[in-house]
Amino acid sequence: MTNAVARFAFATAAAIAFVAWLLTLAMSGANATSAIGLSALVAAVVQIAAFAVTASMASRNVVAAWGAGALVRMLTLFVYGFLAVKVLGLPPVPALISLVVFFFLSTLLEPLFLRR
């Protein structure tokens, strides 16, 4: 399991970094790069932690583990939306769109690393 988590962490970090770079090219404006960078960091931490939990629970109930991961991602999006936009004053479109894109992308990678 630890090997799968490490491989997932590397693949997720690489994919998020590449897509973050692409998003900085597509989105311009005041603080857009900062918003995308913070979203990338938040997404990487949440996704790697959620994958570690999913991998540990996969032998018992993989659907429940994925459901818990989806709930964590949704709660993270709501809390991040409030903190990033209202508290930190980051632009909402780059902050929230990039976080959703990072979550979606890394969620697509999960099944590749959950194989037994």
Residue 100 above 70 pLDDT? yes
Domain count, the chain: 1
State pLDDT tens for residues 14-51. 999 999 999 999 998 889 999 999 999 999 999 999 99
Domain housing 21: 2-114
Residue 48 near residue 5 (C-beta atoms within 8 A): yes
Lowest mean pLDDT among 8-12, 37-41, 108-112: 108-112
Residues 6+ apart with CB under 8 A from 48: 5, 8, 9, 12
Pick the more confident residue, 69 or 19. Answer: 19
Residue 110 near residue 52 (C-beta atoms within 8 A): no
Residue 84 above 60 pLDDT? yes
Look at the pTM and tell me if it is higher than 0.85.
Answer: yes
